[in-house]
Structure 1
Amino acid sequence: MQASRSILVRISGRVQGVGYRDWTQRKAAALGLSGWVRNLASGEVEGLFSGSADAVEAMLAACRRGPQLARVDDVTVIEPAEQASGPFAVRYDR
């Protein structure tokens, strides 16, 4: 059985208004991750990714690239984070 990992990330750059949250939801679901993604009032995007260590690492690498219209300047990782379960979701709270 593979170890699980849970991380909280904050992504800065041009990451709002470019489909970053929807892209993140699709990518995370494809990797079998649980968690959520939301916009922050600061202009950053925040996400919680929980799942196999390999899938979380793949998601982190994807977040550093982002969707086509995004420009990612920085990805800050906060570990350990709360463990999430269930389907990956877009949150609309700030």
Structure 2
Amino acid sequence: FSATQCRSSPCVHGHCVQYPSNSVCWCDDGWTGVYCDALIDGCASSPCMSGGTCQDEENGYSCTCPPRLTGVNCETVIDSCASSPCMSGGTCTDEENGYNC
């Protein structure tokens, strides 16, 4: 937009930067558009894997993972045997609801 438009504070969720030949809006986190008036949908790209549920947040998104999954995008399977829970040299078997020795 024109170089003089910063005077009217056109940026809804951001601030106006004036250059010699034009002006632009620098948007706050979570906003986009010429006038920073469009909320960025952090879940639009379906980032949560393996049936995780996406929650759009101001600065991105978060995933609520199904049981036995973890990670930012529910990308990691929780290994119940990773902590070596079996005593006396028992063999651990990772199972759907935990582990078995």
* Shorter-chain TM band: under 0.3
Superposition TM-score, scaled by structure 1 size: 0.24
Superposition TM-score, scaled by structure 2 size: 0.23
Higher helix share: 1
Q: Which structure: larger Rg?
A: 2
Tell which has more relative contact order, 1 or 2 (C-alpha 8 A, sep 6+): 1
